[in-house]
Amino acid sequence: MPSPSSSWPPLWLLLLWLLLLSPWPVRAPAPAAATPTGTQMGTPSSRDCPEACACAPGGQVNCSGRALSEVPDGLSPRARDLLLDRNRVHTLPPGAFVGAGALLRLDLRENGLRWVHARAFWGLGALQQLDLGANQLQALAPGTFTPLRALRNLSLAGNRLARLEPAALGALPLLRALSLRDNELSALEPGLLAGLPALRALRLRGNPWACGCALRPLCAWLRGHPRPAPEAETLLCVSPGRLTLSPLTAFPDSAFRHCAQPLAPRDLVVIYVLGPLSFLASLAACLALGLVVTACKGRRQRAFARAPRRRPPNPSPRGAPPADSGSPAAAGT
């Protein structure tokens, strides 16, 4: 009779069976290589994106709140949207955005910006939106925005501008919205709005407007571009005393009759053409008169030099009688 132990399979068969039933280890896939900072799959390479910024598909370069003290280098020529708000960019030197000529939008809010060079925006001919709000600008150099011929929206709100020269804005034929809120403007210079033929939205609240002759162009523009009642009611004069808190839209053109009328283009032509001509004519007349006087004087001197000179008679010695040709003494001699 076989023993009970002989009915069990051999030990090696049991081990083989357990080995076959045990799960095989599955090798985990190798982790993907770390993506460089500021880039993702399908986004621009690191050489097209500044090191301190994050770039996204579609050409957006996000440098917001990075404590940057200057415009970062390495901007891609394909960048369309540059966010530089909430940094420490206090100045913009010439050619600050060189190489980024395809930019459509530039945000420079809340940088403590104090100075912008007249050639800072050179090369940005395609730019459509520019936000310089919430900075510390007190003045703008002539020609600052001249290169931005495609600009449609400009914000200068929340600065310290007390005066805005027409030469600073220049001719912006496509500008539709301009924000000048919360500055120190008391009036707009004549000719400023004339260079903005497409302007439709002009935001002016928060300025110490003075109702005087200098405000005439702005009041005329406001009458031609009606605005919502709440906004129109907040455009008030703060001086002079008798007109304090008067709405700007309440002044008709007849209120400025006492002001000197601006010169018409024809008058300017007369001044700038006839003025120099009359000066040159008077100068030529004075020169001709001087030549005539000099010639007459020289002629008189020559005539005097040619005239014979009369010799004066010799005086007789004292006490001697004058000689008499008929006297006997004279005859005897």
Same domain, 184 and 217: no
Specify the pLDDT at position 307: 67
Same domain, 122 and 96: yes
Same domain, 90 and 169: yes
Same domain, 203 and 226: no
Domain boundary among 224, 243, 266: 266
Domain boundary among 208, 230, 251: 208
Specify the pLDDT at position 38: 42
What residue numbers bound the domain in which 252 lies? Answer: 211-266
Same domain, 132 and 186: yes
Same domain, 239 and 186: no
Sort residue 170 into left (φ over 0), alpha (ψ -120 to 50) or beta: left
Stated pTM of the model: 0.65
Domain boundary among 184, 208, 232: 208
Q: Which residue has tokens 């004066």?
A: 312
Instruction: Work out whether the CA dihedral 278, 281, 287, 290 comes out positive or negative.
Output: negative
Same domain, 116 and 189: yes
Q: What is the CATH number of the domain that holds 88?
A: 3.80.10.10
Specify the pLDDT at position 34: 38
In the chain (333 residues long), the average pLDDT of successive 10-residue segments reads: 52 65 51 40 57 92 96 92 97 94 97 96 97 97 95 98 92 95 93 92 92 86 77 73 71 77 58 73 83 82 70 57 49 42
161-175: string of b/e by CB count within 10 Å (b at 16+)? beebebbbbbebeeb
Specify the pLDDT at position 119: 96
Same domain, 161 and 244: no
Same domain, 203 and 67: yes
Same domain, 145 and 238: no
Specify the pLDDT at position 22: 61
Question: Of the candidates 84, 55, 56, 51, which has an alpha carbon nearest to the alpha carbon of residue 70?
Answer: 84
Total count of domains within the chain: 2
